[in-house]
Amino acid sequence: MTVLTLALIVGAVLFGIGLYGALSQTNLVMIMMGVELMLGAAMVNLVAFWRFLHPDVYSGQMYVLVVMTVMALEAAVGFGIGTARFRQRGSVEMEEAAELKG
């Protein structure tokens, strides 16, 4: 097994854990944690691909920076929504958030 395969397997397992967390949790912040884990898995894959397939092309590292930006944005917007919801309803439980249902 190559180091590339090992790193990609770690990424795949982290993705599975994050997917489980994002789908199973009812609390907004816990759902965000699941999404963060999935994005972390994507970053592991990107760094592994960059290192072992094209270490001379730095677009791979650039892509990791973009994913880090997405993580920060997700946290900022998620906490903004969480704060607004907490002020209105006193809770960030997403089971109760059915206002957008059609």
Partner 1 sequence: MIQAIFVGLWGGVAIWFGISVFRTSSMVRSALSLLASMAAIGGMFLALEAEFLGVLQLMMMATEMSIMAIFMVMFMMDPGGLGQMEMTHQKRAAGVAGLAGGAVAVAAVLLADWGPIVAEADGPDMQTRALGIELMERSMLIFETAGVTILVAMIAATAVAITRQRTP
- Residues 13-42 close enough to bind partner 1 by CB under 8 A: 13-21, 23-30, 32-34, 36-37, 40
* Residue (of 61, 50, 67, 38) closest to 4 by Cα position: 50
Residue whose CB is less far from partner 1, 91 or 100: 91
Does 96 contact partner 1 by CB under 8 A? no
Does 58 contact partner 1 by CB under 8 A? yes
Does 97 contact partner 1 by CB under 8 A? no
| Under 8 Å between Cβ of 45 and 67 | no
* Residue (of 96, 99, 77, 88) closest to 29 by Cα position: 77
Residue whose CB is less far from partner 1, 26 or 99: 26
At 27, is the secondary structure helix, strand, or coil? strand
